[in-house]
């Protein structure tokens, strides 16, 4: 019986069986704009997030805890640890303890994979544009094979979403009772985008409605699958929005904590 396994591709676009085209692409539009923009924005975020994660400072301005440091499980500043400090022996920044979960979730995300394969790996940089690589191994070996554990990062992302929701609720109160500050609104926007990004995930869609033979026998899961499918088509947008919102929420907390700005209170 003939094997159904796809043969490993070698030779890239110059491999046997590929049409011989003398130029890199026949496209005449600005195909390079999207991968270039992605490269610049992602690089800026990576630089900012790395700097903030290692800073280990200015991440808490009561009642706001930066999402980069939540939950604060290390040797964190007073008042910032709602779940205790079980890892207070950790010698480095507390952000590094939990960073693996949101980072792993985004790095293995189907949308982000497409984005960084195109903009960083140029594999390929755009549709119908030849890639520079001569070999294609896909996600069959390290490190890219790790992308297949995305669904497990999704489980962790649910927990992260719940914790950030809790953090957001806490911003609506202080020692004097209820309050509403500009930061609370920023946190609400951020956690909304985080949830939209998390729940529009392809793994989420599969978790709620995958492997069902008959939707009619699973009306609740069918309803959930329908809802997730509706937001799933906007997943790329939510990936970007949540990236900006989480950085902006952190920036706001940092500026408050280091005294650059003061909080605007509405109530």
Binding residues for ligand FES, rule: CB under 6 A, are 109-111, 150, 154, 201-203, 235
Rounded distance between C-alpha atoms, residue 197 and residue 203, angstroms: 12
Residues contacting 158, CB < 8 A, separation 6+: 198
| Least distance to ligand FES, CB of residue 113, Å | 8
Q: Which is nearer to ligand FES, 69 or 195 (CB)?
A: 195
Q: How far is 45 from 244, CA to CA, in rounded Å?
A: 8
Q: Which of 245, 93, 229 is nearest to 161 (CA)?
A: 245
Q: Shortest approach of ligand FES to residue 150 CB, angstroms? A: 6
- Tell the burial category of 101 from Cβ atoms under 10 Å away from its Cβ (0-12, 13-18, 19+): middle
* CA pair distance 17, 13, nearest whole angstrom: 9
Please identify, using beta-carbon distances, which residue of 158 and 251 lies nearer to ligand FES.
158
User: Which position has the token pair 């909080």?
Assistant: 263
By beta-carbon proximity to ligand FES, the closer residue of 169 and 236 is 236
Nearer to ligand FES, 61 or 208 (CB): 208
In sequence order, the 6+-apart residues with CB closer than 8 A to the CB of 56 are 92, 93, 94, 95
- Least distance between ligand FES and beta carbon 37 (Å): 19
**Cβ 110 to ligand FES shortest distance, Å:** 4
Q: Tell me whether residue 13 or residue 201 sits nearer to ligand FES (CB atom).
A: 201
126 within 8 A of 35, measured Cβ to Cβ: yes
CA R_g for the chain: 22
| Least spacing, CB of residue 200 vs ligand FES, in Å | 8
Nearer Cβ to ligand FES (241/252): 241
Strand partners, 135: 10
d(CA 114, CA 226): 24
Taking the least distance from each CB to ligand FES, the nearer of 110 and 120 is 110
Provide, rounded to whole angstroms, the least separation between the CB of residue 202 and ligand FES.
4
User: Minimum CB separation from ligand FES for residue 38, in Å?
Assistant: 15
């Amino acid at each position: 019986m003939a094997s159904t396994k796809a043969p490993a591709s070698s030779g890239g676009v110059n491999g046997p069986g590929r049409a011989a085209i003398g130029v890199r692409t026949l496209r005449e539009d600005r195909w390079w704009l999207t991968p270039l923009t992605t490269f610049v924005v992602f690089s800026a975020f990576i630089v900012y997030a790395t700097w903030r994660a290692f800073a280990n400072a200015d991440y808490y301005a009561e009642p706001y805890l930066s999402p980069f440091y939540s939950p604060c499980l290390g040797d964190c500043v007073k008042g910032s640890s709602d779940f205790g400090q079980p890892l207070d022996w950790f010698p480095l920044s507390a952000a590094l303890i939990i960073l693996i979960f949101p980072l792993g979730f985004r790095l293995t995300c189907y949308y982000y994979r497409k984005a960084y394969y195109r903009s960083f790996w140029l594999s390929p940089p755009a549709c119908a544009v030849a890639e520079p690589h001569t070999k294609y191994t896909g996600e069959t070996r390290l490190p890219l094979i790790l992308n297949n554990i995305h669904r497990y990062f999704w489980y962790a992302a649910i927990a992260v979403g719940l914790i950030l929701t809790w953090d957001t609720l806490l911003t609506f109160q202080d020692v004097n009772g209820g309050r509403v500050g500009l930061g609370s609104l920023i946190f609400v926007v951020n956690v909304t985008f985080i949830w939209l990004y998390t729940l529009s995930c392809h793994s989420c869609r599969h978790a709620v409605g995958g492997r069902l033979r008959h939707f009619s026998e699973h009306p609740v899961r069918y309803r959930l699958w329908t809802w997730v499918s509706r937001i799933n088509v906007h997943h790329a947008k939510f990936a970007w929005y949540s990236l900006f919102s989480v950085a902006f929420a952190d920036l706001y907390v940092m500026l408050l904590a280091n005294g650059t700005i003061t909080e605007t209170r509405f109530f």
